[in-house]
Chains A and B, each alone.
Chain A
Amino acid sequence: MDFLNAIVALANYVLVPGIAYGSQLAIGALGVTLVYSILRFSNFAHGDTMAFGTMIVILVTWWMQGAGMSLGPLPTALIALPFGILGCVALVLITDRTVYRFYREQKAKPVILVIVSMGVMFIMNGITRFIIGPDDQSFSDGPRFIISARDFKEMTGLEEGLGIRTTQVITVVTAIVVVALLFWFLNKTRAGKSMRAYSDNEDLALLSGINPERVVMMTWIIVAALATIAGTLYGLDKSFKPFTYFQLLLPIFASAVVGGIGSPLGAIAGGFVIAFSEVTITYAWKKVLEYLLPEELEPSGLVQLMSTDYKFAVSFVILLIVLLFKPTGLFKGQSTT
């Protein structure tokens, strides 16, 4: 019994939140990694692209809620998602046309593009704050839990409850669908293959008649869609605040680099590595250990390795270790030296 309780407590506090957070990071990191492999720079504006897309989803959601539309048990935001993606695609394409294209034609060094993306970050952040304000917004509706901790306890008779939130299930399902679609697109369609070709060897791709501007445009469209989806899922699961999205940049970069930047598979793996490390290191293990250890060995403290505020430190340390010891990441991305 104690062993089961320990497993349930572990699932409730570590596994389920970790999987949901990992999916969100993975989709975010996919966006960063795609920009990196096609446009060849680290996009500092990615967090704010996520925030912008999510903001449109929120606005449309509010309007739909006002108009009385709903998806029954699912959050209304899911119907609003396509609108958010469209808005985000529009913004990103305008940005590319007015800002990035100039540097692409000049063949500017990647570091210049990174600095330019810092400027874009400022503007996107400003637009988001200008429209929706800097405060916390909550836009999730429908039932909060699929199984609440109390129901679980009643069903199983265990002492520990396992609560699974609707948003967590939606996150995981959406993530699987999105990733499957993306891989199908990259591996099976002509457009996806031309993107991979362009990423592998630009000159050879140009030689075989691939239109670079088309590849870049497709990349931005996909990146905007991924960013909006990741942002919306994160916002549904936690809450939406422009500054938090900016801060997500660090774990997202860490995920992309850990997996091997430029490798989509790596981005997904990296997302889960980062998410689980953050959750396990900042989780107070007292509860789980109480069930597992004999009474005399029970810990007196919380057995929390680090306080929750140090979660950035966790993703950072992992990032640094990977950069120093395995610069190509887990999945042989482009070298980082």
Chain B
Amino acid sequence: MTDTVKNTLLFALVFTLIIISGFFQGWNNAMFILNMGLISAVMALGVNLQWGFAGLFNVGVMGFVALGGLAAVLVGMPATPGAFSAGGPGVILALLLGAATIIAAVLAFKRMVPGRNRNLAITAILIFGFFVFRGLLDPSVALIESVNPAATGYLGGLNPGSEDTYRDNGLIMLIAWPVGGLFAAGAAWLIGKAALGLRSDYLAIATLGIAEIIIAVLKNEDWLTRGVKNVVGVPRPVPYELDLQNSAAFVERAASLGFDPVEGSTLWVKLLYAVLFAIVLGILFWLSQRALNSPWGRMLRAIRDNEVAAEAMGKDVTARHLQVFILGSAICGIAGAMMTTLDGQLTPGTYQPLRFTFLVWVMVIVGGSGSNLGAILGGFLIWFLWVQVEPIGLFIMNIITSGMAEDSWLRAHLIDSAAQMRLMTMGVIMILVLRFSPRGLIPEK
């Protein structure tokens, strides 16, 4: 069996699974799995670029995904009337001063002679800068958050529409996706400058921390993201179900295909999303594939396999690492923006590392690290399992406990806990793959 046949069969298998789930659980559910599978595949591509190509151990995926979501809000939502004039300039000035403080500290570190004077100067710069920063930021933030706190209380975004009309500019979300990538790339540049070059497990700890910090910022900076109050009603690049159901032409077309208006409209919307996501995935896959087979990709793999030898050949290891770290994180950011668009809301409270960082890692490892096709396959397959393990677990638990008495506490407990089987299954899959097929389903060539 050639590789092509095997890979086609693997993909066919995954899509058959999704289609089967469509027959049993409804097509809406299957389309949801497909859409999130597409997004997961994009995330897996990003992680594969970092780990598979360059051997960079990034466990901060969640942070970059969340930054993408932030971009979706900042681009897609309308500006809150009066909020920017209330505190916007103050916040921007404070942020600029904060950045200036850090730059000044770095300059002092680089320019001054090492010794006690330098340490004192850096400490003084940082402390003074911090208080000026907080002194400027806090009042402006309070002003912004006091603008209609129940409904908005944040700056809002760049959508030119007003409160009532911004949903008409849904196509602006297509701009938000690359912006999400840019946000993530910016963060990755900062992190990479500081943390790349550490030993691999320290890079892991550092990225883990960064992700937690990004989530903490999104949860607490209400002026930016409304925090745990969530931003709902993010516009979408596809039509709304209600509009479709009200359009006579659509209802007629749906009826001719045998769908009632409600089901037809929800399916049509999800299908449009799937097409958009598939286009993004296709472009990124093509680019990654080109990169993998270019001299640049070969250089990265050479660095991954033997850093010292590559350095001896005159390759700039740190610069290449930084480059690929930024690119991979940007892909995760794009996926994050797409996900927030699909959800229609940004809920900082729901970002969990197990779901957004470690699950993506399972995807890459199961799919085959170093292989783009493998990452995509892993994205679909693992996402499918992640969704389906819960009903399957419930089903198994029902069978196991069917002999027990109706009011048995053990039965109630087992059925309640079936929902928790997801994590265990993912762990078992990951360990089994690492042990018995460490190169994954579609190995790197």
| A window 119-155: CB within 8 A of B | 119-127, 129-131, 133-134
B130, B206, B417, B431 — which one has the most chain A CB atoms within 10 A of its CB?
B431
A313 to B130, CA, bound (A): 15
With A310-B216, A316-B213 known as contacts, the answer to whether A123 contacts B204 (CB < 8 A) is no
Cβ 8 A contact of A253, one of B138, B200, B205, B361: B205
Q: Which chain B residue lies CB-closest to A113? A: B201
Tell me the minimal C-beta distance from B202 to chain A in angstroms. 5
Query: In the complex, which range does the number of interface residues on chain A fall in?
Result: 35 or more
CB pair B198–A111 under 8 Å, yes or no, is no
Q: What 0/1 readout, one digit per residue, does chain B (343-370) give for beta carbons within 8 Å of chain A?
A: 0000000001110001001100100000
Answer yes or no: B210 CB below 8 A from chain A CBs: yes
Answer yes or no: A81 CB below 8 A from chain B CBs: no
Answer yes or no: A331 CB below 8 A from chain B CBs: no
A254 to B209, CA, bound (A): 10
Answer yes or no: B426 CB below 8 A from chain A CBs: yes
CB pair A122–B430 under 8 Å, yes or no, is yes
CB pair B431–A99 under 8 Å, yes or no, is yes
Answer yes or no: A63 CB below 8 A from chain B CBs: no
State the majority secondary structure of interface residues on A: helix
How many residues of B are in contact with the other chain, CB < 8 A? 47
List residues of chain B with CB within 8 A of the CB of A130.
417, 420-421, 424
CB pair B417–A121 under 8 Å, yes or no, is no
CB pair B431–A123 under 8 Å, yes or no, is yes
Tell me the minimal C-beta distance from B192 to chain A in angstroms. 13
Cβ 8 A contact of A41, one of B201, B416, B423: B201
Answer yes or no: A337 CB below 8 A from chain B CBs: yes
Answer yes or no: A59 CB below 8 A from chain B CBs: no
CB pair B420–A118 under 8 Å, yes or no, is no
Q: Which chain A residue lies CB-closest to B228? A: A309
With A309-B219, A312-B212, A337-B199 known as contacts, the answer to whether A250 contacts B205 (CB < 8 A) is yes
List residues of chain A with CB within 8 A of the CB of B361.
115, 118
With A122-B354, A336-B198 known as contacts, the answer to whether A323 contacts B206 (CB < 8 A) is yes
CB pair B209–A111 under 8 Å, yes or no, is no
Q: What 0/1 readout, one digit per residue, does chain B (270-291) give for beta carbons within 8 Å of chain A?
A: 0000000000000000000000
Cβ 8 A contact of B354, one of A41, A42, A125, A316: A125
Tell me the minimal C-beta distance from B138 to chain A in angstroms. 7
A127 to B427, CA, bound (A): 10
Cβ 8 A contact of B358, one of A122, A301, A310: A122
Cβ 8 A contact of A134, one of B200, B420, B421, B426: B420
Given contacts A115-B434, A243-B352, A250-B208, 15 further A-B contacts (CB under 8 A): A41-B201, A42-B201, A114-B57, A115-B361, A115-B365, A118-B59, A119-B430, A120-B427, A126-B421, A130-B417, A250-B212, A254-B205, A257-B202, A301-B138, A327-B198
Closest 9 CB pairs of A and B: A126-B424, A122-B427, A123-B427, A316-B209, A126-B423, A119-B430, A129-B420, A42-B201, A119-B431
Contact sample, A vs B, 29 pairs, CB 8 Å cutoff: A41-B201, A44-B204, A99-B435, A110-B200, A111-B55, A111-B200, A119-B362, A122-B362, A122-B423, A123-B424, A123-B428, A123-B431, A125-B354, A126-B423, A130-B417, A133-B417, A133-B420, A246-B353, A250-B209, A253-B208, A254-B209, A310-B216, A316-B212, A319-B206, A320-B194, A320-B195, A323-B206, A337-B198, A337-B199
B interface with A by C-beta (< 8 Å): 55, 57, 59, 130, 134, 138, 194-195, 197-202, 204-206, 208-210, 212-213, 216, 219-220, 352-354, 358, 361-362, 365, 416-417, 420-428, 430-431, 434-435
